[in-house]
Amino acid sequence: MTTKELISNIAKKAGLTKSQVADLLDATEEVIVQHLLEGKSVQIQGFGTLDVKQKKERISVHPRTGERSMIPPKQQVTFKPTQNLKDEINNW
């Protein structure tokens, strides 16, 4: 689903204009990103939790040459769905 499709579907279900939904979606994204940048997790009831995890540095080996290189540590956004969402997807 693209952003345009998401906006269109939400507008139909909520009875709002597409521009209102687009503004709401932009504001939601800004708030979520800001919380993640502050190191806080974001829990959306009935959907899941977004969190930032620190990945450790590691050694990578090129499959053809066998050359080893160090991959630096980085932060990664993770998503953990709620049990209700998992059940709904599995029973669909």
What are the sequence ranges of the domains in the chain? 1-40, 51-92
Task: Check residue 92 and give its pLDDT.
Answer: 83
Q: Which amino acid is at 9?
A: N
Please provide the average confidence, as pLDDT, over all residues in the chain.
95
Number of Cβ within 10 Å of residue 8's Cβ equals: 14
DSSP string over 7-71: HHHHHHHHT--HHHHHHHHHHHHHHHHHHHHTT--EEETTTEEEEEEEEPPEEEE-TTT--EEEE
pLDDT single digits (tens) 15-28: 999 999 999 999 99
- Segment 70-85 shows an average pLDDT of 95
